[in-house]
Amino acid sequence: MLSISDWVTIGCAIPPLMLSAFIYWRQCRQDRAINALDQEMRDREAQRQREQIESNAAAFISRYYADRGLIPLCAIAAMHDCTFPYRREMYREFCSCSREMQRAIIDLSDWSLNPVKHEDLYRNCLEKFRQILKVGFPADANLFYMFDQYMERTLNQYGALKVPESSFETTSRITDMLSNHTKIARGIPVLNALADGLNLRTCSEVFCCWALSVEAQYIVVYAAPSSTDIYGCPGCWAGEEISHLEDQFLLTLFSIYTNCILADEPSLTPEATSHKLSRKAPL
């Protein structure tokens, strides 16, 4: 049985314990309030940064509104080489933006192309293109060396030059030949016939680089199993022009990347699919 002194000791110990419990409760409440305030401040700062990025993205699109259809090529330029001195200021400015800013520009443009970092986009695209030639154009496999040799020069050596004056007629000849699936099915060397018809073995190197880039662009388009217009339609979207060889090089990379590399990735969500079916060209 407890003595009086024991009860006195217990009674003296209770107030400090109660005070400690009260202090602990107050401290926890204060910590929760501080954490909530800190989280609110972080959320406000994140919201402010998002709004700033969206504002800068809108300013970028407004600044280059006449060429807004080339924004997907901006993403390809950044993925190919963000340090390259592209002729178009639009490409250079996009490459200097942060990844978040680049994604905001793409999202605000309503495209689904995500500018991600690639170790060697050009070589990856070239390997995919080689596989297409091997499967779809076995009689023309010997011409791969020409694509390998000249396509990259389209940008590195001649990017600042304008496309040939005969670009429309030449492109029509290329697409007419490539769309002739009967000849392709019979194993007739269509690309060799094109090389002879366009004099690619004797013409100027500038014309050869440009023509091979156009051929590569449409070869993968005709070989693609489905449309990839959710990623963009540079050159035929809002009046923008593929006016220089650097534009054509980036358009060729864009065609190979979206039709051959992205098409192999299971990243097309149902939302993106419905978005793809509902897309309309601007007025």
Q: Which residue has the higher pLDDT, 234 or 136?
A: 234
- pLDDT, residue 39, reads 80
- pLDDT, residue 160, reads 94
The answer, yes or no, to whether residue 47 has pLDDT greater than 90, is no
Q: Which residue has the higher pLDDT, 140 or 216?
A: 216
Q: What percentage of the chain reaches a pLDDT higher than 70?
A: 87
Q: Does the residue 181 lie in any domain?
A: yes
The answer, yes or no, to whether residue 146 has pLDDT greater than 90, is no
d(CA 250, CA 239): 17
Q: Does the residue 8 lie in any domain?
A: no
The answer, yes or no, to whether residue 103 has pLDDT greater than 80, is yes
pLDDT, average across residues 278-282? 40
The answer, yes or no, to whether residue 57 has pLDDT greater than 60, is yes
Q: Does the residue 231 lie in any domain?
A: yes
The 10s digit of each residue's pLDDT in 220-230 is 888 776 666 68
The 10s digit of each residue's pLDDT in 68-89 is 999 999 999 999 999 999 999 9
Q: What angle, 0 to 180 degrees and rounded to 10, lies between the N-to-C axes of helices 4-63 and 99-108?
A: 60
- Name the band, by pLDDT with cuts 50, 70 and 90, for residue 101: very high
Q: Give the chain's mean pLDDT.
A: 83
- Name the band, by pLDDT with cuts 50, 70 and 90, for residue 204: very high
- Name the band, by pLDDT with cuts 50, 70 and 90, for residue 283: very low
- pLDDT, residue 262, reads 83
Q: Does the residue 262 lie in any domain?
A: yes
**What's the total number of domains in the chain?**
1
Cβ contacts of residue 52 below 8 Å, gap of 6+? none
Q: Does the residue 58 lie in any domain?
A: no
- What is the span of the domain harbouring residue 266? 121-278
Q: Does the residue 4 lie in any domain?
A: no
d(CA 29, CA 35): 10
Q: Does the residue 40 lie in any domain?
A: no
CB contact at 8 A, 237 and 283:
no
Range with lowest mean pLDDT among 111-115, 174-178, 232-236, 261-265:
261-265
Of the ranges 129-133, 190-194, 203-207, which is most confident? 203-207
Q: Does the residue 127 lie in any domain?
A: yes
pLDDT, average across residues 10-32? 79
For residues 144-169, b (16+ Cβ closer than 10 Å) or e, as one string?
A: bebbeebbbbbbeebbeeebbeebee
